Structure 1
Amino acid sequence: MDETLLFDMLRQALLIAVRMSAPMLAVALIAGAVIGLFQALTSIQEMTLTFVPKVGLMLAVFWVSMSFMTTALSDFYLGQIIPLVAGG
């Protein structure tokens, strides 16, 4: 295995990791901004008010996008990693 192949595999793996985590991170960012705005407008400074809805929304998005994440990861392994290991 030469360096270019290794760096290309690493680049693809990082790209897949970003694509898999982007939906959950986007929901956490949007939920945090909305809840922070709500807290600033109402002067409510409760820590659980930011934590619980964010975690709930992230779990919901994870559950909805789980098939996409599983498909992307298995396609990467079956298309890139397994042939590389089998081919030597």
Structure 2
Amino acid sequence: MTEHLLFDMMRQALLIAVRISAPMLAVALIAGMAIGLFQALTSIQEMTLTFVPKVGLMLIVFWVTMSFMTTTLSDFYTIEIIPLIAGS
């Protein structure tokens, strides 16, 4: 295995990690901004008001995008990693 191949594989792995985590992080960002705006407008400073909705929305998005995440990760392993290990 050359350095070029190793760095290319790491770059692809990081890109896959970004693609997989982007939907949940985007929902957490949008929910956090909306809840923060709501708290600023109403002067409610309750910690659970920010935590519970964000976690709930992230769980829903995780459940909805689970097939996308699994397909993306399994394709990466079957196309890139396993042939590299097998020496093809």
Find the aligned partners of 2:47 and 2:87 in 1 and give their Cα distance. 53
In structure 1, distance between residues paired with 2:26 and 2:80:
28
Q: Using the TM superposition, give the Cα deviation of residue 87 of structure 1 relative to its aligned residue in structure 2, in angstroms.
A: 0.7
TM-score normalised to structure 2 length: 0.99
Structure 2 equivalent of residue 77 of structure 1: 77
Structure 1 length normalisation: TM-score?
0.99
Aligned partners of 1:25, 1:84: CA distance in 2, in Å? 31
Q: Which residue of 1 aligns with 2:64?
A: 64
Where structure 1 has 5 or more consecutive residues not aligned to the other structure, the ranges are: none
Superposed structure 1 runs of 4+ greater than 4 Å apart: none
Q: CA deviation at 1:9?
A: 0.2
How many positions carry a matched residue from both structures?
Answer: 88
Inter-partner Cα distance in structure 1 for 2:37 and 2:87: 54
User: How do 1:38-57 residues align onto structure 2 when only pairs under 5 Å count?
Assistant: 38-57=38-57
CA distance in 1, matches of 2:54, 2:29: 9
CA distance in 1, matches of 2:71, 2:9: 18
Give RMSD over aligned pairs. 0.7
Deviations 1:27-81 (A, max 9, x none): 0000000000000000000000000000000000000000000000000000000
TM-superposed CA distance for 1:21, in Å, is: 0.2
- Equivalent residue number for residue 35 of structure 1: 35
Q: Flag structure 2 segments of 5+ consecutive residues without an equivalent.
A: none
* Rounded Cα–Cα distance in structure 2 between residues aligned with 1:4 and 1:62: 34
